[in-house]
Chain A
Amino acid sequence: MARTAKANCWDVMTCGRGLASVEPCPAALDATCDGVNGGMNAGRICWTVPGTFCSGEIQGDFLDKQETCLACRFFLQVRHEEGQEFRFVKLAQGVLDVEDLHARITQVESLMGIRDRLRARFNLDAVIAEITRQARVLTRAQRSLVLLLRGNPPSLHGEFRLRGSVMAVDIPCDESSAVGYAAVNNQTVNVKDPYRAPVQQDDVPFNQAFDEACDCRTDSLLAVPVRDSDGRVVGVITAANSAKGWFSQDDQWFMECYAVEVGLAVEKARLMEEAVLAGRMASISESLAGLSHFLKDVAHALVGTSFIIRRAIRQGRMEDVKAAWEILDRHVKRLADLCKDVLTYDPERPDEIAPGNLNATVRDAVSLVQPEARTRAVELTTELGAGLTRWRHSKRGIYRCIVNLVVNAFDACLPGGGHVTVMTERRGDEAVIRVVDDGRGMDEETKARALETFKSGNQVGGSGIGLPTVVEIAERHGGRLEVESTPGRGSTFTVHLAGAGHLDRKY
């Protein structure tokens, strides 16, 4: 018991319950705090001792009396006298200094922070990367790893970076290793100095295989089971090689908090992945259904017309051959267009973009569909703007855009004919191509469907790939497609093409 020259609480508060009194205060008797803040026993950290006798009455524990204590002149005096060395808290294991307390607060804040961040994330890999990084920092570990159960028989699978390359590890889910033990027994395992004691308390074994595979040495290891919301173990989170030599009870507590977050994140990420996959499958299936419907329509016409032609030739009815041949021709063209669109749509097959006369390309494309316009009683005109003679564009791509948009416009004009105008205009940094019709127009739902792959918004029955192809081509030009439409009044499709500076050079 070291005596000091510094004043103890009983000296300052003059309670008469000092060590030398008949009935000493618990603060005067608490030898576990002797010397703290330079006092005798708990004489200078009395606020942490329950049942002290000050202000003439017996006090409760720290929580009860903290308000009084923190305002007490003796507390303020000690804090002032000790300055940087001031110790505020006493825990069961000993006394923590202010710095330690701050470190703990930082850990709790970080835990709360990561919780918010993780809950906003769906990508499992990103979640795991974030958790292992935080766990490493907070437990001051050399490395941290999340291992998830998978396969049959189940093993614990994890991936990590080692000296610049990604390593994968599969640990059997059995009691042959500390990590497996944690998973099988649904229990936290804290391994200390395993090379000296390969079998730890509770018969937790240590398996050197991981160290050998990764050419490292584990001196301490914390393995905490990760559970899903039903409490089933789905993996293990580990931290290895604490900077303090081993992992404390606090580290264990933090890792268990992390494990809860990992469990939720894993579950959420898996649900999300399943939902995305299911969505993708549904979309593929819907796309195939749409395409199949288009092909059935075309096949229906081909089978029918070829029957009519064969029979008409046999019977010598040439007028039937001619009429059926026209229908056959149209459907062969629909098929050919689909093939071209599929090729254009293929991102693996980019087109060449070069400076050229955009108006000339538009004029050529319009002349291609002019005969079709006449058969449909549609008046097709152009209004071409200035400043577009050397505009970087894909000739083939713009052809497809114009033909697709104009034929769509024809379809919109059915059955009584109508007016379709193709306009070009230079507007600052971009070129604009507009296809305007006065046809039946689209409501919002039809408009949305029209832009989705293989879901034709066209009542006449398109392949469902025409407009997405236009979007694809516009985007390859650093531009976009805009659609305005009013039911009963017509539609305007506007293709914006970026100037040379906006183009992706690869294209």
Chain B
Amino acid sequence: MSETKKKILVVDDDTDDLKMLSMILEPEGYDVVTAENGVEALEQVESEDPDLILLDVMMPELDGFAACDKLKSSPASQGIPVVLLTGVAKQITKTRYPIDGVLRAQAEEYLEKPVEPEELLRVVASFFK
């Protein structure tokens, strides 16, 4: 069973949110690793090789957009699906979003805050069918 456990990297600067997302995902059989900012997330991708990344948009230092841009431009990580969590869904089309007015790298999915846990689990599961 442990071999088939999918690993999810959750990236959020709010420690409560990190804990909460882990507590939602872990009992459903996912392995969760966390990062508190975009820079840490890039390091975790290298060392943990996750199957999916949940990325909060609003973060200090490297924000979710920029982190996603970096992930999608690196051959090592561009295959990992990214789900953006955001309070500003208006700025985002389904898989593309603007950085400095330019549509940049793609995220596979986005969820608008407040995120319904059932919806989150459904979206996460859809990547592992």
Chain A binding surface, main DSSP class: helix
Which one, A293, A331, A415, A460, contacts B87 given CB within 8 A? A293
Chain A hits for B118, CB < 8 A: 307
Chain B hits for A324, CB < 8 A: 20, 23
B93 within 8 A of A: no
Q: Which of A11-19, A315-323, A344-352 lies at the binding interface?
A: A315-323
CA distance A388 to B117 in the complex (A): 52
CB-based contact A307/B117 at 8 Å:
yes
A100 within 8 A of B: no
CB-based contact B117/A320 at 8 Å:
no
Q: Mark B73-90, 1 if CB is under 8 A from A, else 0.
A: 000000000000001100
A487 within 8 A of B: no
CA distance A81 to B14 in the complex (A): 96
B94 within 8 A of A: no
B101 within 8 A of A: no
Q: Nearest A residue to B88 by beta-carbon distance? A: A293
Which one, B23, B60, B87, B115, contacts A320 given CB within 8 A? B23
Q: Mark A326-351, 1 if CB is under 8 A from B, else 0.
A: 01001100000000000000000000
CA distance A330 to B19 in the complex (A): 13
Q: Mark B88-117, 1 if CB is under 8 A from A, else 0.
A: 100000000000000000000000011111
CB-based contact B113/A460 at 8 Å:
no
Chain A hits for B23, CB < 8 A: 308, 320, 323-324
CA distance A415 to B113 in the complex (A): 24
CB-based contact B16/A330 at 8 Å:
yes
CB-based contact B13/A301 at 8 Å:
no
Q: Nearest A residue to B14 by beta-carbon distance? A: A461
CA distance A346 to B120 in the complex (A): 38
Which one, B13, B20, B27, B115, contacts A305 given CB within 8 A? B20
CA distance A305 to B21 in the complex (A): 9
A300 within 8 A of B: yes
Chain A hits for B21, CB < 8 A: 304
CB-based contact B115/A304 at 8 Å:
yes
A299 within 8 A of B: yes
Q: Mark B112-129, 1 if CB is under 8 A from A, else 0.
A: 011111100000000000
CA distance A317 to B28 in the complex (A): 13
CB-based contact A323/B27 at 8 Å:
no
CB-based contact B19/A327 at 8 Å:
yes
Chain B hits for A80, CB < 8 A: none
From residue 10 to 39 of chain B, which have CB atoms closer than 8 A to chain A?
Answer: 13-17, 19-21, 23-24, 27, 36
User: What's the nearest-Cβ distance from chain A to residue B56, in Å?
Assistant: 10
A327-B13 in contact given A300-B115, A308-B117 (Cβ < 8 Å): no
CA distance A297 to B23 in the complex (A): 17
CA distance A19 to B114 in the complex (A): 106
Chain A hits for B88, CB < 8 A: 293
A442 within 8 A of B: no
CB-based contact A304/B24 at 8 Å:
yes
Which one, B27, B87, B117, contacts A317 given CB within 8 A? B27
User: What's the nearest-Cβ distance from chain B to residue A9, in Å?
Assistant: 82
A304-B117 in contact given A293-B87, A311-B27, A324-B23 (Cβ < 8 Å): yes
Chain A hits for B16, CB < 8 A: 301, 327, 330-331
A307-B60 in contact given A296-B113, A296-B114, A297-B87 (Cβ < 8 Å): no
CA distance A299 to B118 in the complex (A): 15
User: What's the nearest-Cβ distance from chain A to residue B47, in Å?
Assistant: 20
CB-based contact A308/B20 at 8 Å:
yes
CB-based contact A301/B116 at 8 Å:
no
Which one, B17, B24, B87, contacts A308 given CB within 8 A? B24
A302 within 8 A of B: yes
User: What's the nearest-Cβ distance from chain A to residue B13, in Å?
Assistant: 7
CB-based contact B20/A296 at 8 Å:
no
Q: Nearest B residue to A310 by beta-carbon distance? A: B117
A152 within 8 A of B: no
CB-based contact A315/B27 at 8 Å:
yes
CB-based contact B27/A300 at 8 Å:
no
User: What's the nearest-Cβ distance from chain A to residue B10, in Å?
Assistant: 12
CA distance A300 to B114 in the complex (A): 4
User: What's the nearest-Cβ distance from chain A to residue B71, in Å?
Assistant: 23
Chain A hits for B60, CB < 8 A: 459
CA distance A299 to B117 in the complex (A): 12
CB-based contact A323/B114 at 8 Å:
no
A320-B114 in contact given A296-B87, A305-B20, A461-B14 (Cβ < 8 Å): no
Chain B hits for A297, CB < 8 A: 14, 87, 113
A303 within 8 A of B: yes
CA distance A461 to B113 in the complex (A): 14
Q: Nearest B residue to A461 by beta-carbon distance? A: B14
From residue 175 to 229 of chain A, which have CB atoms closer than 8 A to chain B?
Answer: none
CA distance A289 to B27 in the complex (A): 35
Q: Mark A268-302, 1 if CB is under 8 A from B, else 0.
A: 00000000000000000000000011001101111
A–B Cβ pairs within 8 angstroms, 18 of them: A292-B87, A296-B113, A299-B113, A299-B114, A300-B17, A300-B114, A301-B17, A301-B20, A302-B114, A303-B116, A304-B20, A304-B114, A308-B117, A312-B27, A315-B27, A317-B27, A415-B36, A459-B13
18 additional A-B residue pairs with CB within 8 Å, beyond A307-B24, A308-B23? A293-B87, A297-B113, A300-B115, A301-B16, A303-B115, A303-B117, A304-B20, A304-B117, A307-B118, A311-B27, A320-B23, A323-B19, A324-B20, A327-B20, A331-B16, A415-B36, A459-B60, A460-B13
For the complex of A and B, list the 10 residue pairs with the smallest distance between their C-beta atoms, beginning with the closest. A307-B117, A299-B114, A300-B114, A300-B113, A296-B87, A304-B20, A303-B114, A296-B113, A327-B16, A308-B23
